[in-house]
Amino acid sequence: MKNRNLGCLLSLLLLSGAVVAQTPRRIAIRAGHLIDGKSDQPIANALILIEGNKIVSVTPGGSPPAGADVIDLSRATVLPGFIDAHTHILLQGDVTAADYDEQLLKQSTPYRAILAARNAHIALSHGFTAMRDLETEGAMYADVDVKTAINRGEVPGPRMFVATRAMAPTGMYPLLGYSWELDMPHGVQPVDGVDGARLAVRQQVSHGADWIKYYSDHAYFYGPDGILHSHVNFRADEARAIVEEARRIGRPVAAHAIGSDGIAAALDAGVDTIEHGDGLTDELIDRLVQQKVYWVPTVTVSVYVAQGRAGNWPKMIETQRAAFAKALRKGVKIAFGTDVGGFPWTELNQAREFRYYVEYGMTPIEAIRTATTTAAELLGWSDRIGSVEPGKFADIVAVSGDPLADITELEHVRFVMKDGVVYRNELK
């Protein structure tokens, strides 16, 4: 009786075509030029074969196999999907403290999560197929929910690597300055003491944090030595406890560090990535190289907020630009990061960051690598994303011009595929 039922089920499946559908769908992309993320030279007339969600072969020339759906990008430049290693999907711009406070005080977390889903869609349509989202700015663990909804195919968006709440000691992160009678929301998880640090890491990881982020410093100022200094947030033993606990349970650590003191403290603690890093000195640049720590400069946000914040902020752009040139010369691993959310998702395309890297001294191919191979390495996903080659996920974008001649072409992505699925194609 049981066997007969199974037989019926099998013939039903065969009739409905469900068994046939198990053969992965094959797509062949004909690329006019392919910048694969690995080689310096584009490959002309490349044929990329995709089965299901993976790239199975990349060949110069050749014909698409029988039965494959062909996507003709023969007049376009094809690249690996972009990776932004510093985003805030739950934030909508915060030039001033008032902009920031208003979001935490007047918007519910569900409302912010709806905007986050919209932001994920914007990012994907601009060619960003992966993002490291470095804290929710008071929206608790809503980044984990956005990531889950994307992974389940409920909403379109990039592959998300999330940091949840981030950490700073009591009194060193907004909201600040309100009456002591009010119990205000916190932009981060307030964390104090070594035990508190370990507990916070465990709590965040238990709710889905892929990365741990903490704020190494605040209050940035130029000293008589001309160096950009800052007030360090955590005691050395607290910062070390965060890093040790994260590492023990397999999570890398990102540190917000703008002034030289904050950067030095983060490097002492043993973090994996330095965020912003405006105040990098020659000595600190050498330490980045020695300790193999990534630098995520986030130039777009620095330029965007400078005028509105005034004070030292405009000068900090120049300080960072000088550090960038030195870091590039000394071989620091620079990974693409914009801090989008610090500027509104709806106003600027994250891909603007590429043009600053070229203005600051990178060749276009070097700038492209920051958002492909280097960012994939930072994520520990080099074996899965960051280049167009056999075995990688089919995360592929295309532009109609030549980004090696004009880097701003990357701000006009016209084709987006993520995980083998086409989300945008204006090159038909």
Residues in contact with Zn ion by CB under 5 A are: 339
| d(C-alpha 325, C-alpha 311), whole Å | 24
Q: What's the min distance (Å) between Cβ of 14 and Zn ion?
A: 53
Q: Which residue's CB is nearer to Zn ion, number 166 or number 242? A: 166
Q: Which residue's CB is nearer to Zn ion, number 339 or number 411? A: 339
Q: What's the min distance (Å) between Cβ of 339 and Zn ion?
A: 4
Q: Which residue's CB is nearer to Zn ion, number 46 or number 134? A: 134
Can you list the alpha helix ranges (DSSP code H) found in 225-351?
236-248, 260-269, 282-290, 299-309, 313-330
Q: What's the min distance (Å) between Cβ of 250 and Zn ion?
A: 23
Q: Which residue's CB is nearer to Zn ion, number 48 or number 255? A: 255
Q: 3-state secondary structure string, 230-249? A: EEECCCHHHHHHHHHHHHHC
Query: Which of 351, 369, 407, 380 is CA-nearest to residue 39?
Result: 369
| d(C-alpha 99, C-alpha 121), whole Å | 23
Alpha-carbon distances, residue 332 vs 280, 289, 318, 324, 408 (angstroms): 11, 5, 19, 9, 24
Residue 324 backbone phi and psi in degrees, to 5 = -60, -45
CB 82 within 8 A of CB 397: yes
Residue nearest to Zn ion (CB): 339
| d(C-alpha 127, C-alpha 142), whole Å | 23
Q: What's the min distance (Å) between Cβ of 256 and Zn ion?
A: 7
Q: What's the min distance (Å) between Cβ of 187 and Zn ion?
A: 11
Q: Which residue's CB is nearer to Zn ion, number 134 or number 241? A: 134
Could you tell me the two tokens for 124? 């994907």
Q: Which residue's CB is nearer to Zn ion, number 256 or number 355? A: 256
Sheet containing 253-257: give its strands across.
189-190, 167-168, 212-215, 253-257, 273-276, 294-296, 333-334
Q: What's the min distance (Å) between Cβ of 134 and Zn ion?
A: 5
